[in-house]
Structure 1
Amino acid sequence: MHIALSPVDAAAILIVLSALLGWINHRFLKLPSTVALTMMGALASIVVVGVDALLPGSDLSGVVSGFLNGIDFHETLMTGMLSFLLFAGALHVDLDQLKRGRWQIAILSTIGVLVSTLLVGGGFWLLTSALGLSVPLIWCLVFGALISPTDPVAVMGVLKTASVPPSLQATIAGESLFNDGVGVVIFSILLVAAVSGHELSLPHAAEMFAVEAVGGAILGLAVGWIGYRAMKAIDDYAVEVLVTLAVVMGGYSLAMALHISGPVAMAVAGLLIGNQGVSYAMSDTTKDYVLKFWALIDEVLNAVLFLLIGLEAVVVADRFGLLGLGVLTIPLVLAARAISVGAPLLAWRKLWPFRLAFPVMTWGGLRGGISIALALSLPPGAMKDVLVAATYVVVLFSVLAQGGTIGGVVRRLTGGPSAPA
């Protein structure tokens, strides 16, 4: 039976499920919210698939898949939720700490992503070839690009519950804020080459990268500055909250229309308003309202996003035969992360102790909704089936295993308790 749901109905279902599962977690499980919601969503998906297997006449998976496809995970995250989540995350990052690590962040979020893309892409090509899967190298590089960026939403959630030194925290947060924008740009460039079948032109790719990434940063500064000046000229918390919403929604839409990086623009705008705006443009009352408003937006959208990640298991259930490939891909992705951050961290060991920074940045480099959204945006076909299955397994492992244990890792490394959730 097909059930037609309006966007309001879909949003209501997701909010009710998020509230219910969030309550169960807070009352009984007491896990980090991102881990709990993803886990419970995935378990619900397994139950749905199990019911269909036990009852041949049941099509519960079809109903759930229809609901999820109606939401369109890629569209919902990349052109809807992501702008709010990136702005909210950047709003709480200390710009002074970020400036101290600006070169480290720049290297990790650009060269680091490129190195990881090449390592994962090359390794994935060898792995699929060994398993008898015919996946062209360019599509393997597309997978490398979509899985290499650490998800700022997942990473910010982890940093809230781990006692990481402030300078290292700012670097990890800054890297995750900017490397997703860089990763999306690299993904777009490689996907055009993969779909067209034309040989990748490095000069053209470099030009596209510069236009999208630099253009996004310039736009973020522009809309952030306009918002800052508007807020400085008045003292009315309700209007100033509306100004921040206008910066996010208007700025992201403008970035999409100009074909420049919206994620980079929102990260820059959030940093400007979260630091200059909070310090010089807001009264104490306005500051309280603005920060609490965006903290609430962050929590609600986080809950919905990680519930959706768990529920997407229903969508990949028909690719069950490819899930073994995803399991084998996990150590490949972790090894690429270790190499791409380990080499720079060796050079910066006077800045942070290597024995702390390396495991935290490697194990704490979580993949999340952005990787799944990019994988689901691929054109239908055999390549999409392979890449979606591998992506889902890697992301599920990242959120559940890495996200669920990073607090304990930090506690053992620092010899102190992790911060309360």
Structure 2
Amino acid sequence: MSAFDIGALLLVLATAIGIINERYLHLPNVIAQLLGALAVSIILLAIARVTGHSQFAVVLQRRVDDAHLPKILLDGVLALLLFAASLQTDVSSLRRNAASVFCLATLGVILSCTVFTLLFWAILQICGMPIPLSWCFVLGAILAPTDAVAVEELLSKSALPESLKTIVVGESLFNDGTAIVLFLASLAILTGQHDVLGNGHLLYAMVVEGGGGAVLGLVTGLAASFIISMVRDDEIAIFGSLALALGTYRLASAFELSAPVAVVCCGILLSNRLAPGEKLRRAKLNECWSLVDGLLNVFLFMLLGFEILTLNFSPLALLSAAVAIPLAFIARYFSIVLPFSIFGFGLRGDRRIPILMTWLGLRGAISVALTQVVSDTGAYRDALVAACYAVVIFTIVFQGLLAPKVIRGLLSQDDRRLNTAP
């Protein structure tokens, strides 16, 4: 079966799931696609086990591996998804909440990684199935960032206050840069390079990669907005935005800068530099990127559901998955409540906001992709991958489905108009 055949099959399956969801289930589309792919995967594995055709399961696993989801995600799809999300960002609202977004995207990620690493290591020690602290650090870095794709889809129709929505979405857009620096540092420690945490190396990497990525994104976004403003053909303008997203991402990667931060910055700049009179062009640009975003989301979350075929369910992997789910929630809570307690950021003593932001901290495909970068094989890596998938699926499905009820339960009608900006 060729790659084209697999793509056609996925498109047919995605359409069928979408129709069933629209008529009967009424779930958010990304959750429906993920659940549909998971259901198909489980059914296929069950058929293979019942009929005794283990070779069938092996072929399925090979096909999923051949899809190279992590490579596809990190090499291009992530750029398009982040760019599409950044086009919808209101720069004036982001500017008002810049301190909160910056704190959560940097200090919050570091705190989440630290809390998860220490608790995960300690609990597995107590359970008698210890995992080295360096491996726990890798998993903590992988699960620290929230996913912009899942968050944007979830909040698009929610009744959150505008400023709180900006903080949640802004954090998910910018925290990938910090998380990737932490992840690379954890990999270095895993290979014996323990000096990466000393002499300010980690801080230097965050400042240079994150700051450099932001500068590059602003420069390319400014140049692209100037060029696009001189073009009359809307199709060329759309092609230019596509070239901007992919070109900026690859350029940042080539210079070892934060590619996610660069793409987000150029997307925000382009969106907000379109002249007020260019309403038709803005509408066409948003319509095109909404279509790109929707199609990529469907395929991404469907492939994510099929990735369960590649998991190795050992006792250590199952224990790691069970432990990681509550710890990811706890680590997320501390990563929010501690910075807000220290710096304030307009929280005004309302304890509901950290709980709500914790619940909206969905993990997604970027975490799954990072697990595949770990080249080591064996029980520890299997446990890491299983824990990551468990957290991603739990947060997207369980927290995502209950998010509207949590929002309504924690915020009254008047609260939904509250301003959490500094």
Mapped partners of 1:261, 1:87: distance in 2 = 14
Q: 1:320 to 1:128 in 2, by over 3 A?
A: closer
Deviation by residue 1:208-228 (Cα, 9 ceiling, x = unmatched): 222211111111111111111
TM norm structure 2: 0.93
- Indicate yes or no: 2:139 matched with 1:143: yes
Do structure 1's residue 275 and structure 2's residue 272 form an aligned pair? yes
Q: Go from structure 1 to structure 2 and tell me whether the alpha carbon gap of 1:321 and 1:23 turns closer, same or farther (over 3 Å shift).
A: farther
Name the counterpart of 2:420. none
Q: CA-to-partner distance for each residue in 1:7-36, whole Å, 9 max, x for gaps?
A: x33433332322221121112111111211
Matched, 1:330 2:322: no
User: Does the Cα contact within 8 Å between 2:124 and 2:130 map onto a contact in 1?
Assistant: yes
Does residue 105 in structure 1 map to residue 112 in structure 2? no
Aligned residues of 2:100 and 2:345 also touching (Cα < 8 A) = no
Q: 1:333 to 1:389 in 2, by over 3 A?
A: same
Deviations 1:156-200 (A, max 9, x none): 111113100001111111000001221112111221221245443
The answer to whether the Cα contact below 8 Å between 1:168 and 1:352 also exists between their aligned partners in 2 is no
Please say if residues 236 and 286 of structure 1, whose CA atoms lie closer than 8 Å, have aligned partners that are also in contact: no
Q: Sort the Cα spacing of 1:119 and 1:284 in 2 relative to 1 into closer, same or farther, 3 A.
A: same
Matched residue, 2:125:
129
User: Does residue 344 of structure 1 match 2:339?
Assistant: yes
- Whether the 8 Å contact between 2:129 and 2:316 is mirrored in structure 1 is no
Aligned to 1:298: 293
Residue 355 of structure 1 and its aligned partner are, at CA, apart by 4.1
Structure 2 letter corresponding to 1:342: V
Relative to structure 1, is the Cα distance of residues 38 and 320 closer, same or farther in structure 2, using a 3 angstrom cutoff?
A: farther
Given the alignment of the two structures, is residue 35 of structure 1 paired with residue 31 of structure 2, yes or no?
Answer: yes
The normalised TM-score by structure 1 is 0.93
2:160 aligns with one of 161, 164, 169: 164
Deviates more, 1:204-213 or 1:149-158: 204-213
State the identity as a percent: 33
State the shift of 1:404 in Å. 0.7
Secondary structure of the structure 1 residue equivalent to 2:41: helix
Instruction: Determine the C-alpha separation between the residues in 2 that align with 1:53 and 1:139.
Output: 32
Mapping 1:196-211, distance limit 5 Å: 196-202=192-198, 203-211=200-208
Question: CA 1:320–1:396 in structure 2 vs 1: closer, same or farther (change >3 Å)?
Answer: farther
Query: Which range moved further: 79-88 or 27-36?
Result: 27-36
Conservation of the 8 A alpha-carbon contact between 1:342 and 1:358? yes
Give the 5 Å matches for 1:221-236: 221-236=218-233
**1:354 aligns to what?**
350
- Letter in structure 1 aligned against 2:286: L
Q: Is the 8 A contact 1:224 1:272 kept in 2?
A: yes
Aligned to 1:71: 67
Alpha-carbon contact 2:333-2:358 (below 8 Å) kept: yes
Partner of 1:251: 248
The secondary structure found in structure 2 opposite 1:162 is: coil
1:287-341: CA deviations, max 9, x gaps?
A: 1211100011111111111111211111115446512321121111111111110
Moved more, 238-247 or 128-137: 128-137
Specify whether residues 352 and 376 from structure 1 end up closer, same or farther in structure 2 by C-alpha distance, changes over 3 A only.
farther
Match 2:40 to one of 44, 50, 54: 44
Instruction: Look up the match of 2:215.
Output: 218
Of 66, 87, 94, 1:91 maps to 87
Counterpart CA distance in 2 for 1:15 and 1:354 is 45
Task: Give the distance between the partners of 2:119 and 2:408, measured in 1 at CA.
Answer: 32
Aligned residue in 2 for 1:239 = 236
Cα distance, 1:224–1:381 mapped onto 2, change above 3 Å: same
1:371 aligns with 2:367: yes
Q: Which amino acid aligns with 1:248?
A: A
Instruction: Name the SS for the 1:85 alignment partner.
Output: helix
Paired residue type of 1:46 = I
Structure 1 residue 81 displacement after superposition: 0.8
Superposition deviation, residue 343 in structure 1: 2.2
Q: What is the DSSP-based 3-state SS (H/G/I as helix, E as strand, rest coil) of the residue aligned with 2:89?
A: coil
Change over 3 Å in CA distance of 1:258–1:24 after alignment to 2: same
- Partner of residue 308 from structure 1, selected from 303, 309, 322: 303
- Is the contact between residue 316 and residue 383 of structure 2 (CA under 8 Å) also seen in structure 1? no
In the alignment, structure 1 residue 398 sits paired with structure 2 residue 391: no
Partner of 1:288: 283
Which residue in 2 is equivalent to 1:389? 386
Aligned residue identity for 1:283: E
- 1:25-51: CA deviation from partner (whole Å, max 9, x where unpaired): 112111111211111111111112211
- Of 330-339 and 50-59, more deviation after overlay is shown by 50-59
1:317–1:20 CA distance, 2 compared to 1 (3 A): farther
Alignment gaps of 5+ in structure 2: 417-422
Post-superposition offset of 1:263 = 0.6
Deviations 1:327-365 (A, max 9, x none): 121111111111110123345374567244222200000
Count residues in correspondence. 412
Q: Please tell me whether the aligned partners of residues 237 and 285 of structure 1 are also in contact (alpha carbons under 8 angstroms).
A: no
CA distance in 2, matches of 1:161, 1:65: 36
Distance 1:179 1:72, change over 3 A: same
